[in-house]
Homo-oligomer: A and B are copies of this chain.
Amino acid sequence: MVGKVAARREILRKSLIDIAKLRIARDGLSALRARDLATDAGCAVGAIYNVFGDLNDLVLSVNADTFQALGQDVASSLSEAGQTPVQQLIVMSQAYHRFAAQNYYLWRALFDLERPKGEAAPDWYLAEMGQLFTFIHDPLRAAFPQMDAEQRALLTKALFSTVHGIVLLGLDDASAGVQSANIDDMIALILNQIIGPL
């Protein structure tokens, strides 16, 4: 019987990702423990390292799933959006906010996972980031057809950073958190001001 080992490893891999996802979602990234994972998965601690290089690798896989889910949420929010670019941007931003609020620790793990110093982010990470940028970029092209590409790329990053900043500080109760409903108001206020009058 060929591939039995590979199959078992694949099952363990998926299982570990799911368990880590649950634990991160419940207790946060910093509460993740190799021994807890092994207990939950019914395997030895060493088994984790047969499948992942280290715990960071495992969290990276969790983050890949999170990015996927986040991207889908944002994309599907578009279907219920109005037609104007600014309406689309607002709805997507509020979907981003909703995802971050409902999956707080998983969302935080996207940014809190520390990378080996000076090492670039993995390709898939940048690709997922680029995907989110695309969602913003398209309405901007509709809103500002005459704007040159470079300027529009800058505006895209600026808008993403803006929304991310509002959601980040809004959900972080240590940084003078804001009422959740107000976060959506802020997003709409800012986006209307930036895009609306142009």
Q: Which residues in A have some Cβ–Cβ distance to B below 8 Å?
A: 28, 30, 111, 114-115, 117, 120-121, 125-126, 129-130, 133, 154-155, 157-158, 160-166, 168-170, 172-176, 178, 182, 185-186, 189-190, 193-194, 197-198
Contacts and interface: CB of A to CB of B under 8 A. Distances in A.
Give the interface centre of A165, A168, A194 by most chain B CB atoms within 10 Å.
A165
Contacts of A117: 28
A194 B121 CA distance: 32
Contacts of A160: 169
25 contacts: A28-B117, A111-B172, A120-B173, A121-B174, A121-B175, A125-B174, A126-B176, A129-B175, A130-B176, A133-B176, A154-B186, A157-B169, A158-B166, A158-B186, A158-B189, A160-B169, A161-B162, A161-B169, A162-B162, A164-B168, A164-B169, A168-B168, A190-B194, A193-B194, A197-B197
Contacts of A120: 173-174
Contact of A165 (B115, B121, B129, B164): B164
Contacts of A173: 120-121
